[in-house]
Amino acid sequence: MTLAINFPTARTADPSESTVPTVVGARLTVPLLDGRQVGYANLDHAASAPCLDAVRDAVDELLPWYASVHRGAGFASQVCTRVYGQARDTLRRFVGARATDAVVFTRNTTDSLNLLARALPKGTSVVLFDTEHHAALLPWRGPRVQRIQTPANADATIAALDAALSTCPVGPRLVVLTAASNVTGEVWPIAELAKVARRHGARVVLDAAQLAPHRPVDIRALDVDYVVLSGHKLYAPYGAGALIGRSDWLQAAEPYLVGGGATRQVVDWGDHLGVSWTAVPERHEAGSPNVVGVHALAVACETLSQSWDDVAAHERTLLRRLRQGLAGIPGLRVLELFGPEQDRVGVVSFSVDGLDAGLTAAVLSAEHGIGVRDGAFCAHIATRRLLDRSGADQQRAVRASLGLGSTAEHVDRLVAALRSLVADGPAFTYTQVDGRWVPAADERPLPSFLREVS
């Protein structure tokens, strides 16, 4: 049977124009406390990116065919099985993986890293920097885990990793690296760090959750062994992620989850069950697969791959505008690991003297229609260390993160709103509920699907 699944691409009015992919919700309006409706300024892409129009179209195209994946005799099942298999090939191309690399579908980056942690050979030494996102920081446990305090200079990370690996005991070794910080947006010197790991016989897993939506990631060019990523960061918000990399450790490990799909055969031996497991990747994908999420992820990857130059140019322009605007606001401190000259993606975290981060985010939302993030961004060690280093008087920051749904007007609105807040304070009264700042009186209408039925 020959089935061709076409990946839709972003549409533009003229082929000579920019091919930046478009997103669902680009024309969304939200209510303000003063009664006005404004276009939503989504500056929270680093948490979850909006859905690409191309992804929505592809999901709509697939849904009539939706059926079970694998072992289904029905034609619709065969279609979905083909879709699922094509998605593996797309993800392999997206990260430049080797032909022998496994592509294991998961829920997200956190799921992928926990899966790999469960698959490590006994006695594996794990080395990582302490400013990692919790997804990359917490799965590794035991006496052979070594956390390096991140230096304040990118070049110094190379020497720090070399020193740490020199003290590792004999046995398998794994280095955990972040491609781009979700706190500062700074891109790490991955290729250089991977060279250090190779000299010490260590494998490398790259957390590409924050880099993959912004620029190409290439396993072979970077010389890393594993890449993990999340669909919801990649404009495919349907609950799929992937672990891509060398299959030997994954093949030797017990299944991450046990159940249907991971089993080749189960036999009743009376006092126990005899089980033989399938090979990678199905070995670690027990249960009914998320075919819609996987297809959405693949379409997002394919769409971005066709537009990298325009995606990068769009982001560079907005990031420069944002950083220049923030630099002129009194008392605003931008958080940086390595300094202003470091390569970075469109993520900027900051504090404002005398303004609580949570209150700042609440005001930006309720009075200006701007969505940002406040807190420590599931990277508590990194965020709090950088706040202390910058001389901030609080332990939480505000993060503005750019993406395909961001515009120059959004950036200018954020800068103007922050200037107004610094100069005049909030225009309305706010209170704390369960630790979060909210307007004391909020009569903004919810969308119809959330309103109570009378």
pLDDT at 370: 98
| Predicted local distance difference test score (pLDDT) of residue 17 | 53
**With 80 as the cut, is the pLDDT of residue 451 above it?**
no
pLDDT given at position 81: 95
More confident residue, 14 or 290: 290
Residue 29 banded pLDDT, cuts 50, 70, 90? very high
What is the per-residue pLDDT across 278-312, written as a single tens digit (0 to 9) for each?
999 999 999 999 999 999 999 999 999 999 999 99
pLDDT for 392 = 87
Give the pLDDT band of residue 2 (cuts 50, 70, 90). very low
Q: Look at residue 41 and give its three-state secondary structure.
A: strand
DSSP string, 250-315: HHHSPPSS-STTTEEEEEE-SSSEEEEEPPTTGGG--SS--HHHHHHHHHHHHHHHT-HHHHHHHH
Of 348, 408, 395, 400, which Cα lies nearest the Cα of 370?
400
pLDDT of residue 13: 35
Q: For residue 323, what pLDDT is reported?
A: 98
Residues 150-197 have pLDDT tens digits of 999 999 999 999 999 999 999 999 999 999 999 999 999 999 999 999
Residue 453's pLDDT is what? 57
Average pLDDT over residues 445-454: 78
Strand 397-401 and strand 125-129: pairing?
A: unpaired
The tokens describing 288, both together, are: 């009914």
306, 248 contact by CB (below 8 A): no
- Inter-residue long-range contacts of 420-423, CB under 8 Å, 24+ positions, other chains counted: 421/352, 421/355, 421/360, 421/363, 421/364, 422/329, 422/330, 422/331, 422/332, 422/352, 422/355
Exposure string over 331-354, b if 16+ CB within 10 A, otherwise e:
ebbbbbbbeeebebbbbbbbbbee
Cβ atoms of 53 and 235 closer than 8 Å: no
**Which are the catalytic amino acids?**
378
**How high is the pLDDT of residue 16?**
42
165: left (phi over 0), alpha (psi -120 to 50) or beta: alpha
pLDDT over 90 percentage in the chain: 88
Residue 19: predicted pLDDT: 82
Note the pLDDT of residue 12.
Answer: 35
Mean pLDDT for the stretch of residues 23-27: 96
Task: Name the band, by pLDDT with cuts 50, 70 and 90, for residue 9.
Answer: very low
Query: pLDDT digits over 385-410, tens only?
Result: 999 999 988 889 999 999 999 999 99
> pLDDT at residue 269 above 90?
no
Q: How does residue 10 score in pLDDT terms, banded at 50, 70 and 90?
A: very low
Domains and CATH numbers, the chain: 29-50+308-441 (3.90.1150.10), 56-305 (3.40.640.10)
Percent of the chain residues past pLDDT 70, beyond the cut: 95
In terms of Cα–Cα distance, which of 200, 245, 240 is closest to 222? Answer: 245
Q: Which residue has the tokens 């819609």?
A: 292
Task: State the chain's mean pLDDT as an integer.
Answer: 94
Q: What is the pTM of this model?
A: 0.93
pLDDT in tens, 41-82: 999 999 999 999 999 999 999 999 999 888 788 999 999 999
Structure tokens that stand for 192 in this block: 């250089």
C-beta of residue 168 within 8 angstroms of C-beta of residue 146: yes
114 pLDDT more than 50: yes
Q: Say if residues 378 and 399 touch (Cβ distance below 8 Å).
A: no
